[in-house]
Amino acid sequence: MTRHRIELPPLPPTPPEDPVRLVHDWLADAMEHSGQRHPNAFSLATADSDGRPSARMVLLKDLSLAHGYAVFHTNYRSRKGAELDSRADAAAVLHWDRLGRQIRLEGPAVRCPAGESDAYFATRPWQSRLNAWVSDQSQSLRDPAELAERARQKAQEFDLPDPAGSASPGKSAESGLRRPHFWGGYRLWFRAVEFWSEGTDRFHDRVRYERTLTPADHYSFTAGPWRWQRLQP
C-alpha cells in the first residue's frame, strides 16, 4: 500500500468564478486517485436547538452543478434529521489524505422533493430498501437480533422472501417495496465553499467562496453571485 502524496494541480492563482465545478472536479480526482473506499464520504455537522453540535459521516450521492448543492440520504427521524428539522444550518468536510485536499461546505440542508427521494430509493438493492423500513435510526436497541427479526416480519408484509435466505424476489414483489415516508434525501445548499490544498512547510493554499441564499420554496433558494478570497493557512 503506497502512502505517498499524489501530486495533482494546485488551486489556480485566479480561482474560477463558480466553485461548484471545482467541487465536481476534485470529487472526480478523488474517485480516481484517493484509494479511499468511499471517496464521496463527508462528515456532516448539525446542531440541536441549544446549539450543541454533532457530526457523522454520510455519502454524497449527487451534486447539482446548476444550483450548487450536494445530496445525501438518511432517516428523517434520525438524530441528524431531528436536528435539521429544528435548525437547517449544516457544515460538511470532505478530506482526501493522499491528494492533500480538503473541501468545506456550509449552508442549509433541506429535504429533497419526494419524487427525487423515491427515484433514488428505487435504485437501491431490495435488502437495503427493506432495512430502511426496519431501522429506527438513532433509537436505542436492546439486542441486534431484533433487527433481523423485524426484517423477516417486514419482508412478509411486503410478500418478499426471507432476507436471511438466498431467494431473490420477483420484479413485481420488489416494486412493492416503496420508500418509507421517514427516509429520503437532503440537499445541502452551498452558502460557503472552501478549498484547502496542501502546500510545503505549512504554506497551504486556501480559497473561500461565499454567496447569499434566499429561500424560494421548500426545496430551493435563490442564490446571489459567488465572491471569493484567499485565506492564510
Ligand X SMILES: Cc1cc2nc3c(=O)[nH]c(=O)nc-3n(C[C@H](O)[C@H](O)[C@H](O)COP(=O)(O)O)c2cc1C
Provide the minimum distance between the beta carbon of 81 and ligand X in the complex, in angstroms, as a whole number.
Answer: 6
Among 6, 41, 47, 213, binds ligand X (CB under 6 A): 41
Q: Which stretch binds ligand X (CB under 6 A): 73-81, 149-157, 162-170, 204-212?
A: 73-81
| Nearest-5° Cα angle at 221, 217 to 224 | 150
Quick one: 38 or 227, whose CB is closer to ligand X? 38
**56: contact with ligand X by CB under 6 A:** yes
Interface residues for ligand X in 76-95 (CB under 6 A)? 78-80
**138: contact with ligand X by CB under 6 A:** yes
Among 36, 64, 127, 137, binds ligand X (CB under 6 A): 137
Query: What H or E segment, with its residue span, contains residue 112?
Result: none
**58: contact with ligand X by CB under 6 A:** yes
**131: contact with ligand X by CB under 6 A:** no
Q: Which residues contact 209 (CB under 8 A, 6 or more apart)?
A: 15, 19, 192, 193, 194, 226, 227, 228
C-beta separation of 76 from 109 below 8 A: no
C-beta separation of 230 from 205 below 8 A: yes
Q: Which stretch binds ligand X (CB under 6 A): 12-20, 70-78, 88-96, 103-111?
A: 70-78
Q: Which stretch binds ligand X (CB under 6 A): 57-65, 142-150, 154-162, 208-216?
A: 57-65
Q: How far is CA 188 from the centre of its chain?
A: 8
C-beta separation of 64 from 121 below 8 A: no
Q: Which stretch binds ligand X (CB under 6 A): 55-63, 93-101, 150-158, 167-175?
A: 55-63
**141: contact with ligand X by CB under 6 A:** no
Quick one: 22 or 58, whose CB is closer to ligand X? 58
Q: Which residues contact 107 (CB under 8 A, 6 or more apart)?
A: 69, 89, 90, 188, 189, 190, 191, 192, 213
> Which residues on adjacent β-strands are paired with residue 91?
45, 106
Provide the minimum distance between the beta carbon of 96 and ligand X in the complex, in angstroms, as a whole number.
Answer: 13
| Separation between Cα atoms, residue 206 and residue 203, nearest integer Å | 9
Among 73, 111, 129, 211, binds ligand X (CB under 6 A): 73
Interface residues for ligand X in 200-229 (CB under 6 A)? none
C-beta separation of 225 from 211 below 8 A: yes
Helix (DSSP H) and strand (DSSP E) numbers for the chain: 6, 12
Provide the minimum distance between the beta carbon of 160 and ligand X in the complex, in angstroms, as a whole number.
Answer: 22
Q: How many CA atoms lie within 13 A of 127 on its CB side?
A: 9
Contact positions vs ligand X (CB under 6 A):
38, 41, 54, 56-59, 72-74, 78-80, 137-138
